[in-house]
Structure 1
Amino acid sequence: MNHKQRVKSGLGGASPKAVWDAFHPPRLTQARHLAGMTKKEVAQGIGVSPAAVGQYETGTSKPRPDLIVGLANVLDVPIEFFIAGRPMGEIDTSTAYFRSLRSTTAAQRHRALGVAGQVWELSHWLERRVQLPLVNLPGFTGGEVHPGSELSSDPVAAAQELRARWGIGGGPVRHLVRQLETRGIVVFVPSAADDQTVTIDAFAASGFPRPVMVLTPNRADDVYRHRFSAAHELGHLVLHASSTGDHRQEREADAFAAEFLTPRSSIFPLLPRRMDLARLADLSRAWGVSVKSLVYRCRELGLASDATTSRAYQRLHKLSGEPGFAAQSTDGFPGEQPVMLRQAFELAKRDQGLSIEQLSRELAWNPRRVRELLGVSDPRPILRLV
């Protein structure tokens, strides 16, 4: 069966006419954003004008049934994807916190928000079968963030309060991503093959009934950068009711992350009074933060001058590939890799017989996409021709 024939038959057997009757315009926008395509590119793929595609997305008019098949082919979704009635993960940029807002294009942000929306949709459908951890995030209630209602608006104080609320104490935060998941935050790390999403720095979205955090490798697969990004996005979730994309919010999230990972009352007595990179490397491994961040912490806490800090950064640059100073992949740290969605699926599979194919039909996604977001490999053997 070729691709076009598969789309025509549909995952659930719906006819193009039935899809036309229940066509949901926002689903077309979502599919286009996920595909990283412009209206012009979609229009060229189905033989209409860009204005017509715009009308389909606003609901001013609907594509003919045969064009719905064409849209499904061009956007690589089943025709059922366009049917109304399913809960949709749809938010705007005001409830998503992009670290490098000015360096990302609108298309990249829309693509990233589409991914976050699908991650939430997947969690929603799994939650119909499996009770996921309840959201335990002060100030967050059912998709709304209320800054200051439970935690201080000061980032340092908020980090201290959250550590106390979560019972972490004053020591290193072990397995940060697992800590987030056990508090009901959905964490997703896209595959390196998803070259459109991984070009964006980590971001969080607070506009869903359950907060979503997307952690991307971006420029380096480094577990310490990964952990700081997660703590940074956590800061956004508890501090900011909406995203403005300004430097103030980014500085506040950075300050939160530094205090959350290395509380000053605990780290200050341990930091060397004279710059000692070997000592900082030991602390780096113990606390799960980079040596560079500890150098910055020394300066921030008054233990190093600007000149000393600058020289330390230069020495670190020369040591960047050496043992003890080289980046470490997150692959070697299971507690820093999300597992909640995959384990929820495995539980539903074991106890209720849920399959990838059944979940795909309910979501109206291709099975391949479900596997990608769950991090489940295709069980079929690979034929290699030599």
Structure 2
Amino acid sequence: MNAFAERLKSARKMKGWSLQELADNIPVSISKQALHKYESGLMHPTGEVLIALSKALGLRPDYFLRKSIELGPIAFRKKARLGSKEIDSIKEKVKEFLERYLEVEQLLNIQVRFKNPIGNIQIADESEVDHAVLKLISKWNLGHDPIPNVIEMLEENGVRVIAIDAPESFDGLSTFVNDIPVVVISNQFTVERKRFTALHELGHLVLNMDAEIDQERICNLFAGAMLLPDNVLERHLGEKRNNIAIGELVSIKEEFGISVQAAMMRAQFKGIIDKSGVDRFWKTIASNKKEEGLGSFAGSEKSYRFEHLVFRLAAEEVVSMSKAAALAGMKLSDFREKLEAA
């Protein structure tokens, strides 16, 4: 299969379309059979057809010339109703964004080498999670205050974080591209869920977990400990409680950017609250799992690094304004307006 054929197939999967759906959406007459030949490398489109394909797929023609990347093994969190087409679409969206991101870094001669500070800690059971978290916090100089922006913190430490538009049934994924760790979350998440999910996926990337343990639970414990490290909860709630008011947990949510439910799970794990108190909490929260009306974290979860790098490319005239806009995934007029206003 030639490079164009691979790119066309990836672009179609990114849209979540079948060959027939692509044929139905092209502004010129192209059969499903002809498209199959393009994807098989048996035919190459004319310039007119290439432009038509680009319009139908919402991509610039130079997308089909860009070098492809391959994702490594993926830790994929999803609900059972997430179908194969949706999974393929998510993977292709991740690849397309990373291709642009890595090209921007290459043009600026930026080389980021990720080093896992806790890879030598073997996680055989959940009791070892807090030790790994404390070491990571120390190595990354995070302190024990609330993390203002988890996504930006991860990017500063060599992790690429991608927020994509995805179905509600998608939770998150993590993988490596070469030696670059990648975390993917959904744009639809609340700010608290974005923070927790990003750190859960980080757990998959940095924790050296025994194969037989429940890795999803371990990564949940890891995320909770990163947001509420060491004895933070004890300072807020005390060492032993029979009952914790929802209002106390809302206050923690607003300060530390962790959901009320995740904060309670952390309190249970730390042995602060007994089983009867936990049971009462889950009965209370059962009808409001989305925590509507229960406060929110005032911060935002967004990565600014990629945008800053693309602006730098344009400002230093490393590439044309049009090329910079394409790398940013924006229309030229929108990119120019944002650059001049930045």
- State the TM bucket, normalised to the shorter chain: 0.7 to 0.9
Q: What's 1:366 paired with? A: none
Q: Could you tell me which residue of structure 2 aligns to residue 134 of structure 1?
A: 112
Counterpart amino acid of residue 359 in structure 1: A
Deviations 1:58-94 (A, max 9, x none): 44x23453654553343233444333xx3323326xx
Q: Which runs of 5+ in 1 are unaligned?
A: 1-21, 140-147, 364-368, 381-386
- Are residues 1:38 and 2:12 paired? no
1:216 maps to: 186
Alignment-mate amino acid for residue 229 of structure 1:
T
Match of 1:15 in 2: none
Taking only the aligned residue pairs, the percentage that are identical comes to 21
Q: Distance in 1 between matches of 2:60 and 2:302?
A: 30
For 1:95-133, what per-residue CA distance to the aligned partner results, in whole angstroms no more than 9, with x for missing partners? 222211533211111111111112211211211343557
2:140 matches 1:159: no
| Alpha-carbon distance, 1:276 to partner | 2.5
1:227 equivalent to 2:185? Answer: no
8 Å contact kept, 1:111–1:197: no
**Is 1:90 paired with 2:55?**
no
2:322 aligns with 357
Hey, what's the Cα distance between the residues in 2 that align with 1:318 and 1:80? 49
Name which of 294, 299, 310 aligns with 1:333: 299
- Per-residue CA distance 1:40-60 (angstroms, 9 max, x = gap): 3235552133xx64554344x
> What do residues 184-203 of structure 1 show as CA deviations (whole Å, max 9, x unaligned)?
2222323xxx4x46652232
Q: Which residue of 2 aligns with 1:111?
A: 89
Taking the aligned partners of 1:114 and 1:200, their CA distance within structure 2 comes to 14
Q: Name the SS of the counterpart of 1:263 in structure 2.
A: coil
In structure 2, the CA distance between the partners of 1:345 and 1:82, relative to structure 1 (3 Å rule), is closer
From 192, 215, 226, the counterpart of 1:260: 226
**Structure 1 residues 132 and 187, CA, compared in 2 at 3 Å: closer, same or farther?**
farther
TM-score (norm 1): 0.71
Q: Which residues of 2 match residues 197-346 of structure 1 at below 5 A?
A: 200-218=170-188, 221-239=189-207, 248-272=214-238, 273-277=241-245, 278-316=247-285, 320-322=291-293, 325-328=294-297, 332-334=298-300, 336-346=301-311
Q: Give runs of aligned pairs for residues 143-154 of structure 1, distance below 5 A.
A: 149-154=119-124
Q: Which has the higher strand share?
A: 2
Which digits, 9 at most, give the CA deviation of each residue in 1:145-196, with x for residues without a partner? xxx8534335604323222221223443332222111112222323xxx4x4
Return closer, same or farther for 1:174/1:341 CA change in 2, 3 Å cut-off.
same
Query: How many Å apart are 1:275 and its aligned residue?
Result: 2.0
TM-score normalised by L of structure 2: 0.79
Q: 1:292 to 1:132 in 2, by over 3 A?
A: farther
Partner of 1:81: 63
Go from structure 1 to structure 2 and tell me whether the alpha carbon gap of 1:72 and 1:176 turns closer, same or farther (over 3 Å shift).
closer
What is the one-letter code of the residue matched to 2:123? S
1:379 to 334, 337, 340: 337
- The amino acid that maps onto 1:47 is S
Q: CA deviation at 1:236?
A: 1.2
Contact 2:19–2:32 under 8 Å retained in 1:
no
* Equivalent residues in 2 for 1:18-33, closer than 5 Å: 23-33=3-13
Superposed displacement of residue 315, structure 1: 3.0
- Inter-partner Cα distance in structure 2 for 1:40 and 1:79: 21
288-297 vs 166-175, greater mean Cα deviation: 166-175
CA 1:29 to 1:318, structure 2 compared with 1: closer, same or farther past 3 Å? closer
Give me the whole-angstrom Cα distance separating, in 1, the residues matched to 2:225 and 2:90. 28
**Contiguous gaps of at least 5 residues in structure 2:** none
**Number of aligned pairs?**
322
Whole-Å separation in 1 of the counterparts to 2:5 and 2:115: 33
| 2:146–2:257 Cα contact (<8 Å) kept | yes
